[in-house]
């Protein structure tokens, strides 16, 4: 018995191109992003969502429980809605109270467990939880849209479609905690379970269930049903800041897996020898949908707004090219055509071409998780280590770390909330407690110490143990070519928003709305199937909700 050979593919785009912050900050969701992958799984299993508990008063306060069975396991979302004074509502991490709080529970909770969660979930970090609690989350209302929607329903009408489209969610989460935080279950408890084994699948399931709860709560308070098409437009918002940014640095092998999967999918599609009428029609439809999405994507941030304007101006070139696709390897030709356009247009096109080719690329999603991590090889020869640095780390060796511009920032962990922060090295105290995200500087320093060194790496470490981390990074990148962000993360030009967008795009986020270079609002699951629509094939990439 022989294994089926992998499909043909073009060469992957090189890490030197892909792993730059500016391009990572132009990422778009794809069909391989975590939330679309999860919803395809839910659809394939014909999952049904039940609501056995609804203890919510007329004003919308109380608790509810949603249950489902996925991959042979039962799960429940316990949702708690609180009466929060307006002055206490904030998306900042320093908040201590929220409109709603949630726990994704392993199994079906009995009355005692529900009572425990209803008491503890609103306390979030101030409480402690059990290994039956898989995910902990909280969310605040988008007050203006919430009030508009519920008031319209009470008056016997539907909310204004443009208001729904422009905001895109009734509530936004301010944290979705997993992997052992505050006593909840470690990832190892679910890493082998069908449906939840991929990265952040439990978190994405929680988000999708929360979205459904916000719909139900608004209809309950409003006393009427939302129009189905309008309801589908209401995703779940999220406010994400610096706390997420270092993740891609501290999980280099996982980053490599995500990037390799995406780049392999792009390479496979580029190698398709010819496309038929139906595939071309699907691409035309998706390109037109993307144009509508771009037209509706409004942000206040001047940098992001200028990039969106460029996308809008350039996208007709892509639409025209898609409509005329012909000849051998036409999608490779399309990608090459975009090389003269902006990075943002290039990345949107790369996401576009994956959508119609699920059978070719969807199986790659199984490779997003990895059991491996960085490891140190002390037997490696110092000469070999020098060669790897010369080959892979030229961008780090060329950086002038004597320049104040290139050392302008330092990463640290706040004492109050134990969250990552970014300081100004030349104006603020705290650089003596710097987090080791200065990867390029560490490797450059290692390179200096390696000059003239012979023998195994262990001999270098015996004299200079401070270089252990840098050696491990270099060796990791040697084995995992997409494991490293190839930019200086402590330079003045580093924009953390690029790291945030890259990770959030892998989640499946869209409608990025930066509020600075350090935090953004996003929308998840906008256009996604509702609880009772999982029997339909999910098709909601970059939804367009019309004028």
Pairing, β 169-177 against β 235-240? parallel
Average pLDDT over residues 522-538: 92
Determine the pLDDT at residue 21: 97
The yes-or-no verdict on residue 92 having pLDDT over 70 is no
Least confident of 46-55, 88-97, 163-172: 88-97
- Helix residue ranges per DSSP H, 424-483: 439-450, 457-463, 468-479
The yes-or-no verdict on residue 1 having pLDDT over 50 is no
* pLDDT top residue among 456 and 371: 456
Average pLDDT, the chain: 94
> For residue range 398-407, what is the model confidence (pLDDT) as tens digits?
999 999 999 9
Confidence of residue 308 (pLDDT cuts 50, 70, 90): very high
Contact yes or no for 478/498 (Cβ under 8 A): no
Least confident of 145-149, 370-374, 439-443, 488-492: 370-374
> For residue range 323-359, what is the model confidence (pLDDT) as tens digits?
999 999 999 999 999 999 999 999 999 999 999 999 9
* Cα torsion 21, 26, 29, 35: sign: positive
Determine the pLDDT at residue 409: 95
368, two tokens: 């997003």
> For residue range 248-295, what is the model confidence (pLDDT) as tens digits?
999 999 999 999 999 999 999 999 999 999 999 999 999 999 999 999
Measure the CA–CA gap between 294 and 250, rounded to whole angstroms.
33
Average pLDDT over residues 476-487: 97
Measure the CA–CA gap between 253 and 299, rounded to whole angstroms.
33
Determine the pLDDT at residue 94: 66
The yes-or-no verdict on residue 545 having pLDDT over 50 is yes
Q: What's this model's pTM, rounded to 2 decimal places?
A: 0.95
Confidence of residue 96 (pLDDT cuts 50, 70, 90): confident
Average pLDDT over residues 12-38: 97
Measure the CA–CA gap between 127 and 427, rounded to whole angstroms.
37
The yes-or-no verdict on residue 173 having pLDDT over 70 is yes
> For residue range 257-268, what is the model confidence (pLDDT) as tens digits?
999 999 999 999
536, two tokens: 């339909």
Average pLDDT over residues 229-251: 92
* Greatest distance between any 2 Cα atoms in the chain: 80
Determine the pLDDT at residue 369: 92
Determine the pLDDT at residue 418: 75
Determine the pLDDT at residue 241: 86
**From the CB of residue 43, how many other CB atoms can be counted at a distance below 10 Å?**
16
C-alpha Rg value of the chain to the nearest Å = 24
Pairing, β 235-240 against β 62-70? unpaired
The yes-or-no verdict on residue 389 having pLDDT over 90 is yes
Measure the CA–CA gap between 11 and 393, rounded to whole angstroms.
21
DSSP notation for 127-156: S---TTEEEEEEEEE-HHHHHHHHHHHHTT
Spell out the residues 6+ positions from residue 260 whose beta carbon is closer than 8 angstroms to its own: 12, 367, 481, 482
């Amino acid at each position: 018995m022989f294994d089926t050979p992998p499909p043909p593919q073009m060469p992957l785009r090189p890490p030197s191109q892909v792993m730059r912050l500016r391009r990572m900050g132009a990422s778009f969701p794809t069909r391989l992003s975590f939330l679309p992958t999860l919803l395809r799984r839910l659809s394939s299993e014909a999952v049904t969502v039940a609501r056995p508990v609804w203890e919510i008063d007329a004003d919308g306060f109380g608790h509810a429980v949603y249950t489902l069975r996925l991959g042979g396991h039962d799960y429940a979302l316990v949702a708690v809605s609180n009466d929060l004074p307006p002055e206490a509502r904030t998306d900042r991490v320093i908040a201590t109270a929220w409109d709603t709080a949630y726990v994704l529970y392993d199994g079906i909770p009995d009355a005692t467990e529900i009572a425990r969660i209803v008491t503890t979930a609103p306390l979030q970090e101030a409480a402690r939880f059990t290994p039956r609690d898989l995910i902990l989350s909280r969310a605040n209302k988008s007050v203006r849209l919430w009030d508009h929607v519920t008031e319209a329903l009470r008056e016997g009408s539907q909310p204004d479609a443009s208001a729904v489209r422009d905001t895109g969610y009734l509530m936004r989460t301010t944290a979705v905690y997993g992997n052992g935080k505050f006593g909840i279950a470690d990832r190892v408890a679910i890493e082998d379970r069908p449906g939840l084994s991929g990265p952040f699948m439990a978190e994405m399931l929680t988000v999708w269930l929360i979205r459904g709860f916000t719909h139900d709560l608004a209809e309950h308070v409003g006393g009427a049903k939302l129009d189905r098409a309008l309801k589908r437009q209401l995703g779940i918002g999220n406010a994400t800041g610096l706390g997420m940014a270092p993740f891609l640095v501290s999980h280099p092998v996982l980053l490599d897996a995500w990037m390799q999967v995406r780049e392999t999918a792009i390479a496979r599609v580029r190698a398709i020898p010819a496309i038929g009428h139906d595939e071309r029609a699907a691409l035309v439809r998706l390109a037109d949908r993307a144009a509508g999405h771009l037209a509706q994507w409004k942000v206040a941030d001047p940098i992001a707004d200028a990039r969106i304007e460029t996308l809008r101006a350039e996208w007709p070139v892509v639409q025209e090219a898609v409509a005329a696709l012909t000849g051998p390897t036409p999608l490779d030709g399309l990608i090459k055509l975009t090389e003269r356009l902006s990075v943002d247009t290039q990345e949107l096109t790369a996401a576009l071409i994956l959508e119609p080719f699920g059978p070719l690329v969807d199986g790659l999603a199984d490779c997003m998780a990895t059991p491996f991590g960085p490891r140190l090889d002390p037997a490696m020869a110092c000469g070999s280590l020098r060669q790897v640095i010369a080959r892979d780390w030229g961008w780090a060796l060329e950086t002038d770390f004597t320049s104040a511009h290139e050392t302008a920032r330092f990463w640290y962990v706040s004492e109050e909330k134990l969250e990552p922060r970014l300081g100004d090295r030349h104006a603020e105290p705290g650089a003596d407690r710097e987090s080791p995200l200065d990867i390029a500087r560490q490797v450059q320093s290692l390179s200096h110490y390696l000059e003239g060194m012979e023998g195994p790496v262990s001999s270098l470490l015996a004299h200079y143990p401070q270089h252990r981390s840098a050696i491990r990074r270099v060796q990791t990148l040697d084995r995992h070519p997409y494991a490293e962000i190839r930019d200086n993360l402590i330079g003045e030009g580093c924009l953390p928003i690029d790291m945030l967008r890259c990770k959030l795009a892998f989640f499946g986020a869209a409608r990025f709305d930066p509020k600075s270079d350090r935090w953004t609002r996003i929308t998840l699951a906008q256009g996604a199937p509702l609880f009772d629509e999982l029997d339909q094939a999910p098709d909601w990439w970059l939804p367009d909700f019309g004028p």
